Amino acid sequence: SDLRKRVERGELLQPLSFASLVLCSVLLYLKVSLMDPGFVTPEEEVEVDHFTNGRVCMVIPPVPSPVKMRRCGYCMVQQPMRAKHCQLCQRCVRRYDHHCPWIENCVGEKNHPLFIVYLSVQLVVLLWGGHVAWSGLYFEQSWDWLQHNIFLLISFLLIIIFTIVVLLLLVSHLYLISCNTTTWEFMSHHRISYLRHSDTENPFDQGIILNLWRFFC
């Protein structure tokens, strides 16, 4: 492959860069899968009551008048706006997006930006890995060629499939972020009270630039 030829010529910059990118992808995966996605804790309810009694105003999204804040029927905590109970994690998650089986964790308020970074790095690794696999392929119409290249060919096809999956996932998340909505809100708009009773389709949308700025910064 292209990387192997560079190693044999003593050109180690690209192979080391590729290995570093793969390592970065693995570390990001571990970080996103193990970190707190924004679980709602009972202690937060006590803190909110304390601040309210002390007349400290908290900045919260506008809530339509028919909507009432409710207590979770599973973990019995007061759910903040845009929070949802995850049946797999058995916890309520702030700004719940979805439970990702890929990382075996929820994607929520705290780890959603890092999840986007992870997807971006993973996409670069897959594209680079696809290029490396393609550079090692030479096509001949013979059984011997297939025997010697079957694993490389399968690897290349798997990389293509995973690249398409990651690309579609990244593009869909960036679109939802630019609209300041979540996967859960997008898929279940008709079942969510604060969206169903809202005068606008998305009461949280403040324009693409401001939505992206508030999400990443």
CA distance 210 to 187: 23
Which of 100, 106, 179, 217 is the catalytic position?
100
CA distances for 19 relative to 3, 13, 24, 92, 129, angstroms: 11, 10, 9, 37, 11
Task: Check if 217 is active-site.
Answer: no
Q: What would the two tokens of residue 118 be?
A: 């992870």
CA distance 34 to 73: 26
64 within 8 A of 203, measured Cβ to Cβ: yes
58 within 8 A of 48, measured Cβ to Cβ: yes
Active site residues: 100
